[in-house]
Amino acid sequence: MNPTLRQMRAFVALAKTGNFTLAAQSMHVTQSALSGLIKELEQTLEAKVVDRSTRRIVLTDIGRELYPLFSQMIDDLDGALANVADHTRLKKGIVRIAAPQLLSCTLLPGVIAAYRKANPDIEVRLGDTGVESVIARVLSGEADFGIGPEREPAPPLDAQELFEMPFALVFPKGHELEASARVTWKDVTRFPLISLQGQFTERLLDDVHASLREVPVKPANEVTFMTTALAMASAGLGVTVCLPYAQPLAALYGLVMRPLEEPVLSRRFFVYTRPGRSLSPASESFIAFLHGFVGQTQA
């Protein structure tokens, strides 16, 4: 026995209305089509589900048994389909993001605010963390996707490039470098350098040393978060290097940001997702929105 969904819907509609005409209207089919579905159901079950008369229909004993079961099955299915529809229409959903602390307090709040304005029913949860922890959060499933710099070796994740930016030097207002027409990596060596710990800075210094072998750049202080580096630079304890997306935070600390030259070095940031795992409609929508937002800001 394998009754179809249309046959079950026809039977439930008939049982609810007690009338072939009303049941057909509720299903938006002709009365003859509804009658045909009921006959097909009875043939499939090899049992009568309704007794017909000229005035009314009456459920048989089997029909009375099946009605609450079919009705509940259809209600559950319709509820599940409505839930899926809410997700695909972005009327429901949660987006979980893992991102470095600096990106989380500069670029991403504006992106999230703009996205929520366009999609008020979607909940966006931002997990700010150290750069080195972004990949782990995505791999563990704690985040739907992560945003972070390129890694070597490449992590076991799918990666979409989000942006590429050149490094800039940050120093306090009134600093002697403010009067310089351009700022180079050789200038950096004249002042205490406050840098981040970990692979991000290690790769940067390797790139610098490859171009300036005779002028080594050595950090005077290494910290975990860029906010700490910016605060120390603001206090006159040295200079620091970061990417231009940090400009709003640098301005809050009263710092000047200038492009670094000779050499011009840049870093690419990616959106990282787990391979073989489909994202929710909400997460896919947010990533597409993020790419568009970043593209507009860089234009």
Enter the pTM of the model: 0.75
Amino acid at 15: A
Q: With bands split at pLDDT 50, 70 and 90, how would you rate the model's confidence at 213?
A: low
pLDDT tens per residue, range 150-162: 887 888 999 999 9
pLDDT digits (tens, 9 = 90+) for 83-122: 888 777 788 899 999 999 899 999 999 999 999 999 999 9
Closest CA to 133 of 125, 124, 123, 142: 142
Tens digit of each residue's pLDDT (9 = 90 or more) over 34-84: 999 999 999 999 999 999 875 678 999 999 999 999 999 999 888 888 888
235-238 contacts at long range (C-beta below 8 A, 24 or more positions apart): 236/172, 237/192, 237/194, 238/191, 238/192, 238/193, 238/194
What tens digit of pLDDT does each residue of 18-44 get? Answer: 889 899 999 999 999 999 999 999 999
119-137 pLDDT, tens per residue?
999 999 999 998 889 999 9
Bridge partners (DSSP) listed for residue 171: 256
- Mean pLDDT, range 159-177, rounded to an integer: 95
Q: Which domains occur in the chain, in start order?
A: 5-88 (1.10.10.10), 94-164+268-298 (3.40.190.10), 168-264 (3.40.190.10)
Q: Is the pLDDT at 215 greater than 70, yes or no?
A: no
Strand order in the sheet with 168-172: 183-184, 255-261, 168-172, 239-242, 193-196, 219-223
**pLDDT, tens only, 219-278:** 899 998 889 999 999 999 999 999 999 999 999 999 999 999 988 989 999 999 999 888
